[in-house]
Structure 1
Amino acid sequence: MSNSSIDDVEKDVGTKEFDVDEPHLTEQQEDLREAAEAPFTSHVDPISRESAGHGAPLAQVASEKLSVHNIKSVPNGGLRAWLQVLGSFFLFWNTWGIVNTFGIYQTYYETGILASSSASDISWIGSVQAFLLMLVGTVTGPIYDAGYVHHLLIGGSILSVFGQMMLSLCTKYWQVFLAQAVCMGIGAGCLFVPAVAMLSTYFSTKMATATGLAAAGSSLGGVVYPIVFYKLQPTIGFAWATRVLGFMMLVTLALSNSVMRVRVLPAGKRKFLDLTAFTEAPYVLFISGGCLAFMGLYAPFFYVQSYAIETKIANPDLAFYFLSIINAASTFGRIIPGYVGDKIGPLNMIIPCSLLTAVLCFCLISSRSVATVIVDIAFYGLFSGTLVSLPPTIFVHLTKNRAVIGTRMGMGFAIFSLGLLVGTPICGAILNATGSYTYVWIFSGVLTMAGTSLIAASRVAKGGFSLLKKV
């Protein structure tokens, strides 16, 4: 055979090789192929390149750097993995737990050092704190990916404890705003991203369970901190009661800093934005629904104590425990739905829980006795907990490329933060204008229900109309 014929055959074979269409793979098949990848990133050995010559194939070798894309290498258990859950538990304890505690400050400020300020003005302190907690994640996400995880943990811990200690010295509104809203809000934002992102590198099949256990820290923090403050403030005063909380934060955050370890980071630098996410209907619908739901979610957390006291449903000593009841019930609402969500899908889990949250908010309108209020808020805490614990898992499920999970999570929480920012101050303005809590509960319930509708639309866009499909 002539050389030209051989060249033609080789050319023809090469053409056929590249003309063959790659078969379409289902999402499950894609996951299986991804799991089959080597747990380490591969590269061409430069020594082999030099010694192989022009005709010999180049050998690929495994580097020592774990691949963030590889699901097979995720531990999904073990001492080190569960220590990350413990560390994240106390990060949630001192981030969302502090936000969940603000209801006790709202009630105290209205009759204490900020008595001259309106309920709406006071609620801006708590809403800005929650807003910064989520918004700062859009900045700290790329910092986390760059490898400065412990810088975020240490910096966030210092800011949170410093803000709490400075709060003990405050006597004016602007001072309280700077210490509690700005300083502690930024500190919490630095801590929140590591709390969520680090778990996604240690767990895949048990992601919702691990996140739920960690997120339970926000509920338990919201139980313990109000009780400590309420019991100590009459005896040792506002300043020292606040400092005691600061010392508790210092100890628990020190524990998180000591046990949390980075397992793997994305290979390249992460962009602040992934605009392709806004072309995907499930993602857009979910973040829109989450924004509306968070706008209505925290009204009972901020106002149920004042509601019970002003309407004379309960005396102040009993009404104080209402916030702790919500947070205690929310502990189960973060762990149990997380476990079930791993079995049936996180979107399938969050939709009914969010719907029941809206219904229970409407039920507060007709709750006129201690018993009915306690039952209502207990179930409210139980079902509302899913709106905090499940979104990180849902963002993972809505993102095919694991390298941009952090980016999309940060973008989503930034949108959620807008709802947190304006929701409770609007409730305060409604209360100031009408003098009735009925309209506050209606506002909260309608927004939560509207958010649930959009989240349900996201589930349909992602998994179709089949109720049996795990999404």
Structure 2
Amino acid sequence: MDSHQVVEDVPKEEMAPMDFDNNHTANEADAKKQSDFEASAKPPAPTGGPSPPPDGGLMAWLQVAAGFMLFFNTWGMLNAFAVFQTYYESGELFEASSSDISWIGSIQCFLLQLTGLVAGPIYDRGYLRLLLVTGSFMVVFGHMMLSLCTEFWQVLLSQAFCVGIGSGLLFTPTVSLLPTWFSTHMGLAIGIASSGSSLGGVIYPIVLYRLISQVGFPWAVRSIAFIALATFMLPLAVMRMRVRVPKPRAVVDWTAFRDAPFMTFTLSVLIVFIGNAVLIFYVSFYPENRGFTDTSMAFYMAAIFNAGSILGRILPNWLSDRIGVFNTMAPITLILGVTVACMAAVRNEAGMIVEAVVTGFFSGVVVALPPVCFRVLTENKSMIGTRMGQGFAIGGLGLLIGGPSAGAILGKVEPLNWTGLWVYGGVAGIVSGLIIVLVRIMRAGVALKVKA
């Protein structure tokens, strides 16, 4: 019996061709809605050829807002380390040399970068939510434990290792995800998101300094943890992966070591991180030790430095979308090196404030533009998580080296060798800028009007 026979056997009063068509259409619509709902609840399907980024729209800009909060609580906390360094130098919590204290911030910086070796491939496999939850918990938990510390080794474990690893689980996915939502506005989007680190570097030092004097160090640190906990809610609520790779990737992309422009640029990041570590760790302690400012203004110097870097995170990235990322980063990195060396010429409070603002502005390029550069230098975009984590892990060695080596140059006996410290940081910035010029030539030649 065929289908037509079935229809003929149905009594006329039960047959309603128009009703059948309407019911069939309604069923199809219901099925489509159910399918769309199920698709939205699942992680993005693996794809070998992802569609072009939307380059805007509500969901894309929500990713930027979420990234802003993650930068706020990763690099933003790290940018506040100058306040911790100055407080630890006072000896109220424990006794240690400048070089030993700087190991806390250096290990925290390094682990923020090194963890990318693990976080990148995990992100590529589609486990963004796991990274966000785990990283957020470790940052908050690490600060809660820091509030209970009374010895150097305890601070090292909680602040350097726990917070450092948690920050790394959040940072690499952030800079890997945003480029999948933007194309022509990629630099601006990452710049806006990374300006969260500057705002964090303004708010956290002020909160820490003001509360230490009012409620003590333990509750000041707990307050920071509560701020972080509240601001982590936005990324957990809105962050979404748009693209997943078709199959799991290796933890390390060995082809990157044969990619001359990629590895040369990674070397430049390593070197500029050395110079930037000098600023992050000593911008507050320097004016207090030299007597340029009182203790109160010395603590605020970290906030002034990071306030200057807000525009330094956004404007260079906006410019890079128009003239090219390497055309932007190379000269700004060279200028950063020069301005760091000029710190040695500061003689009063006014000069220190100007230097903090200027170096803060140019240091914005150190965090905001490398993710864009790594993205441009990665031909296979589905490997961006692995490549990004790998590049920052190698570059992070500069942060590990920078703090302790700067502390060794500074010395332990008064008067401290501040001139040697700032020359060291300045030369690192200049050398890094020259290496980026080389990368630019490797990609686009010596023609000045080429966007590269």
In structure 2, list runs of 5 or more residues that go unmatched: 1-43
Quote how far apart the aligned CAs of 1:432 are. 1.6
Q: Could you tell me which residue of structure 2 aligns to residue 454 of structure 1?
A: 435
Q: Distance in 1 between matches of 2:348 and 2:313?
A: 27
Q: Could you tell me which residue of structure 1 aligns to residue 27 of structure 2?
A: none
Moved more, 161-170 or 281-290: 281-290
Q: Could you tell me which residue of structure 1 aligns to residue 285 of structure 2?
A: 306
**Which of 255, 267, 290 is 1:276 aligned to?**
255
Q: Distance in 2 between matches of 1:289 and 1:348?
A: 15
Q: Could you tell me which residue of structure 1 aligns to residue 156 of structure 2?
A: 177
Deviations 1:97-116 (A, max 9, x none): 11101100000011144452
Q: What one-letter code is carried by the residue in structure 2 that aligns with 1:412?
A: G
Quote how far apart the aligned CAs of 1:122 are. 0.5
**Which of 74, 85, 97 is 2:64 aligned to?**
85
Describe how 1:312-461 pairs up with structure 2 within 5 A.
312-432=291-411, 435-461=416-442
CA contact 2:97–2:412 (8 Å) conserved in 1: no
Quote how far apart the aligned CAs of 1:137 are. 0.5
Moved more, 438-447 or 428-437: 428-437
Describe how 1:17-416 pairs up with structure 2 within 5 A.
65=45, 67=47, 69-70=49-50, 73-416=52-395
Q: Could you tell me which residue of structure 2 aligns to residue 29 of structure 1?
A: none
Q: What one-letter code is carried by the residue in structure 2 that aligns with 1:458?
A: V
Q: What one-letter code is carried by the residue in structure 2 that aligns with 1:444?
A: G
Q: Distance in 2 between matches of 1:291 and 1:69?
A: 32
CA contact 1:68–1:264 (8 Å) conserved in 2: no
Quote how far apart the aligned CAs of 1:333 are. 0.3
Q: Could you tell me which residue of structure 1 aligns to residue 449 of structure 2?
A: 468
CA contact 1:296–1:424 (8 Å) conserved in 2: no
Q: Distance in 1 between matches of 2:383 and 2:238?
A: 25
CA contact 2:98–2:412 (8 Å) conserved in 1: no
- TM-score, with normalisation over the residues of structure 2? 0.88
Q: Distance in 2 between matches of 1:116 and 1:433?
A: 13
Q: Distance in 1 between matches of 2:161 and 2:195?
A: 24
Q: Distance in 2 between matches of 1:135 and 1:113?
A: 31
* Number of aligned residues: 407
SS state at 1:385 partner: helix
Moved more, 190-199 or 149-158: 190-199
SS state at 1:216 partner: helix
CA contact 1:68–1:201 (8 Å) conserved in 2: no
Distance 1:183 1:350, change over 3 A: same
Quote how far apart the aligned CAs of 1:433 are. 5.3
Q: What one-letter code is carried by the residue in structure 2 that aligns with 1:466?
A: A
CA contact 1:113–1:172 (8 Å) conserved in 2: no
Q: Distance in 1 between matches of 2:406 and 2:433?
A: 20
Deviations 1:49-80 (A, max 9, x none): xxxxxxxxxxxxxxx9474644x531110111
Q: Distance in 2 between matches of 1:116 and 1:351?
A: 41
In structure 1, list runs of 5 or more residues that go unmatched: 1-63
Deviations 1:252-299 (A, max 9, x none): 012211111111111111111222222222112101111111111121
Question: Which structure is richer in relative contact order (CA contacts within 8 A, separation 6 or more)?
Answer: 2
Deviations 1:105-133 (A, max 9, x none): 00001114445200110010001001000
